[in-house]
Structure 1
């Protein structure tokens, strides 16, 4: 007599009952992880995303070569998708600090710290590198408000 003939599989309602406690703990765990990820600074989120992709083995070595090489390596479907994206209306903008008045340097550093999660040293280094992209992927209304504030304090900033 084989083992498969004597083994009785529990009915579906019993399986649901047994797995319901595991589902609750799984939901709690996922909610805890999501809350922890949302509490990270943008820089920490970026570092985490790189680490996560690396652990999953999803590193993309062709992207370091350049976008044209990546598109040609991926095939015509990716190139067509990139063309469609360019044609779509832009919804996310980058804020670029082009230059600033020397007298307003401290004000510019303080303002950069208000809309980024950078410390004083990092904000100062970033401002001194002008022209530099201060923030990427900002919605239009928020980006325009930030650019207006920077212009008000004596800096020249643009949306890209």
Structure 2
């Protein structure tokens, strides 16, 4: 029973993704067709597809096999080793614009002041800020500009904390 349902669903999916395949009643009545005849018919239909339809069919086939992301990585990776070498060179040339502020350590006597300062620029509650400060080294703010990060570092260093901009 499951094979009949799968064939019916396949028929509708193939019509949606690959409209040029002729899906007549012979796909549902395969009991009269022998296995080699069926495979020969399928291979002839696949060979008659244009490249776009063949690509759509390959995506549909991967989805039906449970390989949802199998072909997508190869499409986005670029063309060969020359394509992959250029983005790494460009990434090195680009200047970093967003930084993370990392609290490495602080004086035990200024713990409350450090918690207050962390709360002022992170919008955390008292308990969350306290937990963050207690688990140093920890990132207290991520994705900040260099100027904003340096201002935070100055505030924390004035309290005796060791802070790094990464």
Structure 2 length as normaliser, TM-score? 0.49
* Alignment partner, residue 84 of structure 1: 90
Note if contact 1:97-1:155 (Cα within 8 Å) is conserved in structure 2: yes
Is 2:152 the partner of 1:146?
yes
* Alignment partner, residue 121 of structure 2: 115
SS in 2 for 1:118: coil
Q: CA deviation at 1:81?
A: 3.3
Which structure exhibits the higher relative contact order, with contacts defined as CA atoms closer than 8 Å and separated by 6 or more residues? 1
Q: CA deviation at 1:84?
A: 2.2
Q: CA deviation at 1:154?
A: 1.3
Check 1:83–1:118 CA distance in 2 against 1; reply closer, same or farther (3 A cut). farther
RMSD: 2.5
Equivalent pairs counted in the alignment come to 91
Larger helix fraction of residues: 1
* Alignment partner, residue 130 of structure 2: 124
Unmatched segments (≥5 aa) in structure 2 = 1-68
Check 1:127–1:79 CA distance in 2 against 1; reply closer, same or farther (3 A cut). farther
* Alignment partner, residue 106 of structure 2: 100
Unmatched segments (≥5 aa) in structure 1 = 1-61, 63-70
